[in-house]
Amino acid sequence: MPPVTKPAHEKYDIVFIGGGSGGVAGARRAASYGATVAVIEESEKLGGTCVNVGCVPKKIMWHAADIADKIRHAEGYQFKGPGIGAPQFSWATFKPQRDAYIKRLNGIYDNNLGKEGVELHYGRARLLSPTAVEVKRSDGSTYTLNTDRICVATGGRPTIPSDDEIPGASLGINSDGFFDLEDQPRRVAVVGAGYIAVELAGVLHTLGSEVTMLIRGETVLRTFDPTLGETLTNWMKHTGINFRHGAHVKKVEGAKGQELTLTLESGETLKVDTLIWAIGRHANTEGLGLEELGVKLDKKGNVIVDEFQETGVPGITALGDVAGKALLTPVAIAAARRLSNRLFGPEKFKGDKLDYDNIPTVVFSHPTIGTVGLTEPEARKKYGDENIKIYKSSFRALYFSMIPEEHKEPSVYKLICAGPEERVVGIHIIGLGSDEIMQGFGVAVKMGATKADLDNTVAIHPTSAEELVTLR
């Protein structure tokens, strides 16, 4: 369905602000129950961060890097011929190919809204009241949608320091800018230690860039289980990624698209072609008119909601990254579908809400990471040291048996069990295939599996995943 330029209905049952994963999922689910639904999207590209500058293009770049690694490994499996062992990647020709796929996904999102009868409006939204939303189009014209309910699903965007905080900071790019790069930078500095920093650094390094990580602490992924951060940091260093610990950028000099000189607070200087800020994200709440209507924001600008995604202002809900909890695409989709189930679905869904406990997630690092549940420090704090038992295994996946020692990636699997029944309260794995393994074990943890349940499951051999059902 093409976007409309004026409302087709006098009143809507619900208007979703934001055409990202959450907004589109919620709108389609509501429309499937017969609700009259509109979506307002400012960027004119449906799919939000995930489709356009997040999960999807990131995973495509990860696949490209993974293939580069496989080409290097092929020698160990006695593959011969030109190019074996020395991958030649053309970033300049791959980018438009990747972008074309993303554009196709934008169209699929558009078609899916149309199939459900959801009305799509392109423009900037502003709440006039709990029952009215103004749409300001790119040509400056405005009109108003009247509605019974409003759902704010505007997502978030990368944080970057101001030039007042760090002179020259704007010479760097953020994760969005990574996907705008037309050519592969030769030397890159990545500031940050979270999963986005790790993923971008891993892709760039594996494809052949010289990468330096500037981090404050001793390991990456400090909010994850310590075993994961320690294992990954050590492997990244082993593969040749440079680290500066306790690093703080003092100033950046140079010009966009040219060599940059970073001066650290230690006095050290670093010359790079590209600087990537990966220091966090913040909610897109500015200019929506939320606070004027009594919607509360926390100190980071996230919309404060209850367990049902309600803001406290009748008729106004919020979900996804804008609500600041578990910033993951599947979380936004799940919360949105449950909201629409509750508001417009059959009686059995009247209490539907998303349970934010035990959400599995993965990191597309090299090697990949899967995690669900409590970290070891969290589990010990919640249940007490005496009630926690840790099962752990370190090994190399069979795939690496034919590959030289220096290229054998580590695998470390960790099971955190609580109480006399040894209920599994955390699983943390790093190593080849961890991203695909995690989904099934996420189900097990969600169902309350115990160590005995895993022990009673027959192993699939030879796989890495079997380690989780044979730990002693």
User: Which amino acids are annotated catalytic?
Assistant: 461
CB 205 within 8 A of CB 239: yes
| 466/212 Cα distance (integer angstroms) | 35
CB 329 within 8 A of CB 55: yes
Tell me if the bond preceding 377 is cis, omega within 30° of 0: no
**Which pairing describes strands 156-158 and 210-215: parallel, antiparallel, or unpaired?**
unpaired
Structure token pair of residue 224: 């994850």
Q: What is the separation of C-alpha 137 from the centre of its chain, rounded to a whole number of angstroms?
A: 29
Residue owning tokens 């690092």:
365
State the Cα angle at 201 between 246 and 180, rounded to 5°: 120
Identity of the residue numbered 137: R
| 101/339 Cα distance (integer angstroms) | 30
State the Cα angle at 336 between 331 and 342, rounded to 5°: 125
| 16/103 Cα distance (integer angstroms) | 22
Tell me if the bond preceding 367 is cis, omega within 30° of 0: yes
Identity of the residue numbered 124: R
